Structure 1
Amino acid sequence: MKRKFLTTVLLCCCFLACLATIADFSGSWAGILTMENGDQYPLTYNFKIDGDKLTGTVQTPKGELPVDDGKINGDKFTFTVTLGDIEIPHSGKFYGDSIGVDIAANGVKAHTTLKRK
C-alpha cells in the first residue's frame, strides 16, 4: 500500500513539474537570427500559453507579427508567422533557461537561440 501511494505521489510530482516548465515558457524571449549570408536580425518573441495552445507576437525589424497556429507538445512547439505573402514556419524546444528555434522561409533554414528578457 505504501509503495502504491509513493508511486502515485511521485507521478503527480513529475506531472506538476512538467506543467511548471510549460508555464515558465510564457513571456518575452530575445535573440539574434543570423542568416547564411551573415545578415543578422534581432527578434523578440512574446509567448502566451493556454494549455497546449501557443499564441503571442514576434517583434522583427519589419514590425510586430502575430504567432499563428501555435501548438505545444511537452517541451516542443510549432507555429507560423506570416510576413506579407510568406508563411514562415517555426519549430523549437524549450530548455528552461533558453529556447532553440528553427525557422524555414523560401527554402532557407536558420536556427537561433532565445534568452528570456
Structure 2
Amino acid sequence: MKKRVSIIALFVSCFAICLAASTDLNGKWKGILKFGDMELPLTYTFQVEGESLSGVVTSDQGDLPIADGKIKGSDFTFSLDIGGNVMPHAGKFYGDSTIITSEFNGMKTHLKLTRAQ
C-alpha cells in the first residue's frame, strides 16, 4: 500500500511540475536572431492553455502569429507563416531562458530568449 501511495504521489508531483513549467512560458520573451553580420531583435509573446500554445512574434518588420502551437512539459513546437512559407520551430523551456531551433530555406537557426522585463 505504501508503494502505491508513493507512486501516485510521484505521478502527481511530476504532473504539477510539468504544468508549472508550461505555465511559466506565458508572457514576453526577447532575443536577437543573427544572420551573419545582421541582427534582428525579436519579441515572442506566448500564451499557454493546457497543451496549446499561441501568441505572436514581433520584430521591427511587424507581427507574425504563432500557428499550430503545442506544448508538453518543457518542450514546445509551433510554426510561423513567412510570406506563404511555413517555418517550423521547436523549443525547450529552461525556466529563466528558452532555446528555439528553426529551419528556413535549408538554414538552421538557434535563438536564445530571456524573459522581457
2: CA distance between counterparts of 1:8 and 1:38? 53
User: Tell me, which stretches of 5 or more residues in structure 1 are unaligned?
Assistant: none
Q: Which residue number in structure 2 is paired with residue 24 of structure 1?
A: 24
Displacement of 1:7 after TM fit? 2.9
Structure 2 counterpart SS, 1:16: helix
Alignment of 1:46-65 (within 5 A): 46-65=45-64
2: CA distance between counterparts of 1:38 and 1:104? 19
2: CA distance between counterparts of 1:73 and 1:3? 27
Q: Which moved more, 1:9-18 or 1:92-101?
A: 9-18
Q: Which residue number in structure 2 is paired with residue 104 of structure 1?
A: 103
Name segments (4+ residues, structure 1) moved above 6 Å. none
Alignment of 1:3-22 (within 5 A): 3-22=3-22
Give the aligned residue type for 2:102. Answer: I
Q: TM-score, normalised by structure 1?
A: 0.90
1: CA distance between counterparts of 2:72 and 2:27? 18
Structure 2 counterpart SS, 1:96: coil
1: CA distance between counterparts of 2:73 and 2:64? 25
Q: TM-score, normalised by structure 2?
A: 0.90
Contact kept, 8 Å, 2:77 with 2:88, in 1: the verdict is yes
Displacement of 1:4 after TM fit? 2.5
1: CA distance between counterparts of 2:32 and 2:8? 43
Displacement of 1:21 after TM fit? 0.9
Percentage of pairs with the same residue: 43
RMSD between superposed Cα atoms in Å: 1.3
| Number of equivalenced pairs | 116
Give the aligned residue type for 1:12. Answer: V
User: Tell me, which stretches of 5 or more residues in structure 2 are unaligned?
Assistant: none
Displacement of 1:55 after TM fit? 0.4
